[in-house]
C-alpha cells in the first residue's frame, strides 16, 4: 500500500473508505491482508491513535469494519517511522525553500527521512521493537541524537516516545510474522489468489520517476520482489491503472498540464483532490509518452482505464503523443 504518504479511496457497497496503511483488501472478510517490508513507512501510532478520526483504527470503527486485526499481518522487517522523522521532513522542506527557492512538495509524513535512516543502517524495524526493548531504546536514543545534531531546533520527547512505543509493541505483537516465510508459504501452499497492491505512480519511482520530485521508494513492479521477497518468476499478470487524463499532486514535470478552464474542468468533474494532503491535483491531457515509458519498466499485461466519463462533456479530446527535444522528435522519455 506504500505507507501513509499515499492514499487510496475505495468505495464498496456505497461506503467510502480512505486507506493509507491498510491494503484495500482489508474490506473483504475472506481476505488476509499483509503489510510487507517495503512498507517501511508503517506508523504504529496510526493504528492505535484513537483521537485522530482519520487513523486506520478509528476509521475502521466508524465504518463498521469488524475483526480487521484478525486478518491483518505485518512483516517483522517493516521499518518504523518515528515522530521526529515527520518533523525532519518538514524542516528539510523549509530548508530547500530557503536555499533553492523551491521544495519537493513532500507530504511531510516522514517517508524520505525514514528511508535515509534505512540506507544509513541506523533505522529501526518492527523486529527490533518486539525483541530486546532495552537494545531498541538505546538505538532509538542514538538515532534521535543524530537528528538533533543535524537540526538544533528539533525537539524530541525521547522518554515519552519510548513509553508509547512500548505500549504499541504489545498491541501489534499478535499481528507480526516473518514476512519472507509468510509469502513463501502463501506461494507454495494450497492454491491461492495473491494480489499485490502498490501505491504511488510509476513516475514517482525513486529511480525511474521525475527525480527529484518523486517518492523515496520503488513503486514500479520491481517493488513486488524487493518489498515482499517474492521471486520474479512468481509475478504473474501486471495491471497498470491509468486515468483517461493525467494528474499530479505537487510540483514536478508535467508537459500536458492544462492551466486553464480544461484543467479546472478535469479537476472539478474528476474530484481531483489528494487523499493524503487534500491538495488539488494538477490536471492535463493523457500523456501517452509517460504511459509507454511506464509500460517499458513494468511490462503491463493489461491496462485498467478509469474516469473516461469525466471527458463526456468535451467536444474535443487531446492526447500527448510525442516529445520534442532540441526541436527533434524523440522516441524515449528524457
- The per-residue pLDDT for range 69-125, each reduced to its tens digit, is 888 898 898 888 888 998 888 888 887 777 777 776 777 778 888 888 999 999 999
Count Cβ atoms within 10 A of the Cβ of residue 202 and give its class: 0-12 exposed, 13-18 middle, 19 or more buried.
buried
Distance (Å, rounded) from C-alpha 270 to C-alpha 308? Answer: 10
Nearest to 287 by CA among 253, 312, 313: 253
What is the arithmetic mean of pLDDT over 250-267?
A: 94
Q: Which three cell numbers stand for residue 108?
A: 511531510
CB neighbourhood size of 272 (10 A) = 21
Please enumerate in sequence order all residues whose Cβ is within 8 A of that of 100, keeping only pairs 6 or more positions apart, or say none: none
Helix (H) or strand (E) holding 59, with range, is: helix 56-63
Is residue 272 over pLDDT 60? Answer: yes
Residue 39 is predicted with a pLDDT of 42
> Which residues are known catalytic residues?
118
Is residue 200 over pLDDT 50? Answer: yes
Residue 4 is predicted with a pLDDT of 65
Is residue 205 over pLDDT 60? Answer: yes
Residue 60 is predicted with a pLDDT of 47
CB neighbourhood size of 85 (10 A) = 24
Tell me the per-residue pLDDT of 305-318, one tens digit each, with 9 for 90 and over: 999 999 999 999 99
Omega before 212 within 30 of 0, i.e. cis: yes
Domains, the chain: 1-195 (1.10.300.10), 237-330 (3.90.170.10)
Residue 42 is predicted with a pLDDT of 42
Distance (Å, rounded) from C-alpha 166 to C-alpha 303? Answer: 44
Tell me the per-residue pLDDT of 119-167, one tens digit each, with 9 for 90 and over: 999 999 999 999 999 999 999 999 999 999 999 899 999 999 999 899 8
Amino acid at each position: 500500500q506504500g505507507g501513509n504518504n499515499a492514499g487510496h479511496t475505495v468505495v464498496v457497497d456505497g461506503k467510502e473508505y480512505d486507506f493509507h496503511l491498510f491494503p484495500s483488501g482489508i474490506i473483504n472478510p475472506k481476505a488476509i491482508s499483509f503489510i510487507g517490508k517495503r512498507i517501511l513507512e508503517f506508523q504504529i501510532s496510526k493504528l492505535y491513535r484513537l483521537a485522530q478520526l482519520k487513523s486506520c483504527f478509528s476509521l475502521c470503527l466508524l465504518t463498521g469494519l469488524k475483526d480487521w486485526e484478525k486478518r491483518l499481518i505485518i512483516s517483522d522487517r517493516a521499518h518504523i517511522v518515528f515522530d521526529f522523522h515527520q518533523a525532519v521532513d518538514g524542516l528539510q522542506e523549509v530548508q530547500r525553500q530557503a536555499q533553492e527557492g523551491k521544495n519537493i512538495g513532500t507530504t511531510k509524513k516522514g517517508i524520505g527521512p525514514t528511508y535515509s535512516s534505512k540506507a544509513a543502517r541506523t533505522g529501526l524495524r518492527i523486529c527490533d521493537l518486539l525483541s530486546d526493548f532495552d537494545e531498541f531504546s538505546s538505538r532509538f536514543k542514538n538515532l534521535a541524537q543524530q537528528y538533533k545534531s543535524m537540526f538544533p531546533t528539533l525537539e524530541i520527547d525521547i522518554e515519552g516516545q519510548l513509553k508509547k512505543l512500548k505500549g504499541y509493541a504489545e498491541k501489534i505483537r499478535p499481528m507480526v510474522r516473518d514476512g519472507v516465510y509468510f509469502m513463501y508459504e502463501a506461494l507454495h501452499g494450497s492454491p491461492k489468489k495473491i494480489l499485490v497492491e502498490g501505491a504511488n505512480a510509476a513516475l514517482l519511482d525513486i529511480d525511474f520517476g521525475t527525480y527529484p520530485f518523486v517518492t523515496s521508494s520503488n513503486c514500479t513492479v520491481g517493488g513486488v520482489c524487493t518489498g515482499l521477497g517474492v521471486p520474479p518468476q512468481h509475478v504473474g499478470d501486471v495491471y497498470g491503472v491509468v486515468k483517461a487524463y493525467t494528474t499530479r499532486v505537487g510540483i514536478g514535470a508535467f508537459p500536458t498540464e492544462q492551466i486553464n478552464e480544461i484543467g479546472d474542468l478535469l479537476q472539478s468533474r474528476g474530484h481531483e483532490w489528494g487523499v493524503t494532503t487534500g491538495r488539488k491535483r494538477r490536471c492535463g491531457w493523457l500523456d501517452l509518452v509517460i504511459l509507454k515509458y511506464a509500460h517499458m519498466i513494468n511490462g503491463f499485461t493489461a491496462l485498467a482505464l478509469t474516469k473516461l466519463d469525466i471527458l463526456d462533456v468535451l467536444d474535443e479530446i487531446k492526447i500527448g503523443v510525442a516529445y520534442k527535444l532540441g526541436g527533434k522528435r524523440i522516441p524515449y522519455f528524457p
